[in-house]
Amino acid sequence: MKIQAKICGITRLEDALSAVAYGADALGFVFFSGSKRFIQPENARRIVQNLPPFVQTVGLFVNESAENVQKILATVPLTLLQFHGDESPAFCQQFHRPYLKAVRVQSTDDMLHAFTRYPDARAILFDAYVDGEYGGTGHCFDWKILPEKMAGHWILSGGLNPDNVAQALHETGALSVDVSSGVEESAGVKSPEKMRQFLFACQSNC
């Protein structure tokens, strides 16, 4: 089965087009102003308008107000929402869009609880817990604490890069991965070569 891969923290059109050319299934746009990879909605719209038709576009939000989420949705034609903060199920559901719920993993129970609390999420995204940070930290969590059985789709994230993604896929059995800092030259600036290597490693594990 094909490994699905999302490149997150896109801020430039050239990076988006390179990611797609090398086989990315989805691109993530960070609308959290506290992130080094924050993108203005107008800039995200310009990038999305230049993408091929079957690429998923994902908007990442962290404890954002419903009003601001709606404003961004009115500007950027996103296909998926990703909530990376402390959002409630009701908050995530109100936009009537498929969504991903990120969990900053500290224990196996964190992961199991997420499936119970967000049963209608398209998938649960497992990221490393770093105090005060919401993704893009470059840190892995202990893959050994992944539950043997899960109640829905899930995405492996946190500290992945071209050098460890093949091992991660082998050890975890993940079918979907998310990468941000692991394919960058600097925050928000992607490395075409790192993206190529990362996505080639994913495709080689099909």
Q: Which residues are catalytic?
A: 8, 127
- Smallest CA-to-CA distance from 8 within 134, 171, 145, 116 is with 134
Q: How far apart are CA 89 and CA 79, in angstroms?
A: 19
Q: Residue 190, class by beta-carbon neighbours within 10 Å (0-12 exposed, 13-18 middle, 19+ buried)?
A: buried
Q: Residue 66, class by beta-carbon neighbours within 10 Å (0-12 exposed, 13-18 middle, 19+ buried)?
A: exposed
Q: Position of tokens 């094909």? A: 2
